[in-house]
Chain A
Amino acid sequence: MRLKKRSKADTEISTASMPDIVFLLLFFFMVSATIKTEDEKLKVTIPKAQAITKVEKKFLIRELHVGFPKNQKLGSTPKISADGKLLELNALGNWVQEQKTSLGEVYSDQMIVLLRAHEEVDMGIIGDIQSELRKNNARKILYRTLEES
């Protein structure tokens, strides 16, 4: 009889540590999720495609954005931006070299440039970027597209 009584009293699980557990989860997600800062300066709508593939080594990816500036003062010609900063075409070579150094010797030749370009820009600027990438020996290019449903 005495045993039964005690076990009855113990059945309630303490929820006092619940907030701690949830906060731990929260911090885990905050740390592990790489928050992608959307490019504020340019308007980019990426095109859709079917034959898309996934990159296995994500750390090789470096992003370039191409689109029309949101701010009218910056003009209405398509602009290039990387890491939230506008880049001129002649500064692109420097950017590529910087990114290659940041990857280290082993992987610098495998760098993948992810081109997130607005679907309405014309091929002129895309071609300019490509020739600049070729000059700096960054020859893997990934045209970012959405999956066509």
Chain B
Amino acid sequence: MIRLKKPKSEPKVSAGSMADIAFLLLIFFLVATTLMQDKGLMLQLPPDVPPTETPINERNLFKIRINSKNQFLIEEKVVDDLHNLKEEVMDFVLNPNANPSLSESPDKAIISIKTQRGTSYANFIDVLDEVKEAYYTMYGNRVGLSSKEFRALDKKNPSQNELYLTARAGLPMNISIAEPDKIN
């Protein structure tokens, strides 16, 4: 019994490693918490009112169709890959050579994306991405920025907000997504 009795100085716990333990915990939480992710492709859906017949000139409509076999039909042409889509959209919207088959003016151009129920979501996102990238490139070109720089503009900063507004003036991003077809 006498041997088991501890010396008086022993019960003191060393606090030296406390900081290390706390740091370890801190680093664990820093790594484990993923912050709210908020990046993506933004789109405004149309209001839920019965469709009204608005006369749209056929030449102002750029039609992209994706069927349930994931084949693309762009302006009535079957297309295998999308690498030209961005240039085609830009050409269509701006119509620099006043081609009568392309849009009348940039603000009247409408890009219509139509899918079917069996179309894969990834393909739809690919198409939407290309169309949005085309628009952002056009906006960027107007103020001498790249698409990426344009997207990074801070709207709270007055001078950057002005750039943003000048770029977007008279060139609305008209993207229409139709309800997926029931058939097929």
Contact = CB atoms under 8 A, between A and B. Distances in A.
Interface string B5-39: 00000000001101101110110011001111111
A130 B179 CA distance: 8
B119 A29 contact: no
A77 interface: no
A129 B40 CA distance: 18
B35 A131 contact: no
B38 A127 contact: no
Per DSSP, chain A at the interface is mixed
Given A51-B132, A121-B120, A141-B45, A30 B151 contact: no
Interface in B119-138: 119-122, 124-126, 128-130, 132-133, 135-136
Interface stretch (A33-41, A81-89, A97-105): A33-41
Q: Which of B16, B39, B43, B118 is most buried by chain A, counting CB atoms within 10 A of its CB?
A: B39
Contacts of A131: 48, 179
A99 B122 CA distance: 27
A123 B180 contact: yes
Which 7 residue pairs of A and B lie closest in terms of their CB atoms, listed nearest first? A124-B117, A51-B132, A19-B18, A119-B122, A49-B129, A51-B133, A22-B22
Given A26-B29, A33-B35, A51-B136, 17 more contacts: A18-B19, A19-B21, A22-B23, A25-B26, A29-B33, A36-B37, A54-B38, A61-B36, A119-B120, A119-B121, A122-B118, A123-B115, A134-B46, A139-B45, A140-B44, A142-B38, A144-B37
